[in-house]
Amino acid sequence: MNKSADNQQVIVLHGLGRSPRSMKKLESCLIREGFNVFNIGYPSHFDDFESILSQLISSVKAQINPDLPVHFIGHSFGGLMIRGLLANREQWLEKGTTCLDNSRCVMLGTPNKGTSIAKFMTEHPILKHLTPKVSIELVPNSQLIANLPEPSIETGIIAGNKPFTPWIPVTWFYKKASANAPGDGVVEISSTQCSNMSDFLVMPLHHSFMMWDSQLIEQSIHFLRNGCFVNGMHESE
């Protein structure tokens, strides 16, 4: 156990249509490294972004210790939830609270600029009936994407570049939806980036499984401790 992580909290957020089980390996590794981990679930199938965020805010407020440092790791849509939490911090933190003063967050395959696959599926005559309600807010240039503030804390972003996995149906449409843009089978690499990100890393991973990858987990923990990845954007420049 790494004692340098004592009393540091990490909020871990799964992706759209997933559950905390999908982040269990990451949670276990963070706990072994000495972090206090809150692997928080939220309903994402039937509500819009604001409704989902409201429920998440209630869960975060009830669970974390506002007097201890808090970091964030979010997979896919979970990264947008992080942005929502930070933009609405006054709803779960009292005025004058300092737990975010030295916070960091890691986003894993997050569609920070929206994703073409969301546009493709929400406009498809059949697939649109199978997609979560919030998907319409994840298309490029949506009102949510345009207006949601970027993270106000140090942010590291990991993108995948493995675009096809045959047993994940959504990736069957990725090539057509994205015009074969480099990406992880769900989110284009260019769409994962924020203008104020602290570091950026591309790994040979598919969107749906990246959070289980041991090297990705090591990189995420390294960023929480140091504010950079090993061989990330800034170390390779």
- Which domains does the chain carry? 3-112+152-160+188-236 (3.40.50.1820)
Question: What is the distance between the alpha carbons of residues 135 and 41, in angstroms, rounded to a whole number?
Answer: 18
Question: CB under 8 Å to 78, separation ≥6 — which residues?
Answer: 12, 13, 14, 15, 108, 110
* pLDDT reported for residue 236: 42
Residues of the chain with pLDDT under 50: 1-3, 236-237
* pLDDT reported for residue 231: 82
* pLDDT reported for residue 3: 44
Name residue 200's amino acid. F
pTM of the model: 0.93
114, 123, 62: which is closest to 83 by C-alpha? 114
Name residue 110's amino acid. T
Average pLDDT score, the chain: 93
Please write the tens of the pLDDT for every residue from 46-103.
899 999 999 999 999 999 999 999 999 999 999 999 999 999 999 999 988 999 999 9
CA dihedral 134, 17, 209, 124 (to 10 degrees): -50
* pLDDT reported for residue 234: 63
